[in-house]
Amino acid sequence: DAGVIQSPRHEVTEMGQEVTLRCKPISGHDYLFWYRQTMMRGLELLIYFNNNVPIDDSGMPEDRFSAKMPNASFSTLKIQPSEPRDSAVYFCASSPGAFPGSYGYTFGSGTRLTVV
């Protein structure tokens, strides 16, 4: 397996533009997580899915953020409109297991987002 695949690796966009980040989890993993990492706030969980269903989106900062998982092999995180404070590295991770903390997570390489 190629691991968790994220695209793009880098994204530079202007304030107000829509940004879409993409993730392909490991086949057979029931859980998919979206994280954001910044120097100031560390690693923050934004939302996670179980079998394609959003379970907990309490970490989504505001309505500008949305996430979907239309099937078991694809998820998107969308920011519309983007703002400079959204600049961060966004990670997708997946894991197997009966509950979300039962096994280790496999992380993608991340998308470094810069909003100017």
Partner 1 sequence: SQQGEEDPQALSIQEGENATMNCSYKTSINNLQWYRQNSGRGLVHLILIRSNEREKHSGRLRVTLDTSKKSSSLLITASRAADTASYFCATGASGANSKLTFGKGITLSVRP
Chain residues binding partner 1 by CB under 8 A are: 4, 33, 42-43, 45, 48, 55-56, 91, 93, 99-110
For the CB of residue 55, give the shortest distance to partner 1 in the complex, in Å: 7
In terms of Cα–Cα distance, which of 108, 75, 105, 91 is closest to 35?
A: 91
Distance (Å, whole) CA 11 – CA 82: 12
Residue (5 or 81) nearer to partner 1, CB? 5
Strands 88-95 and 106-107: antiparallel
For the CB of residue 91, give the shortest distance to partner 1 in the complex, in Å: 6
For the CB of residue 108, give the shortest distance to partner 1 in the complex, in Å: 5
Q: How many helices (H) and strands (E) does the chain have?
A: 0, 11
Residue (22 or 80) nearer to partner 1, CB? 22
Residue (73 or 109) nearer to partner 1, CB? 109
Distance (Å, whole) CA 72 – CA 24: 8
For the CB of residue 27, give the shortest distance to partner 1 in the complex, in Å: 17
Distance (Å, whole) CA 75 – CA 33: 10
Residue (45 or 72) nearer to partner 1, CB? 45
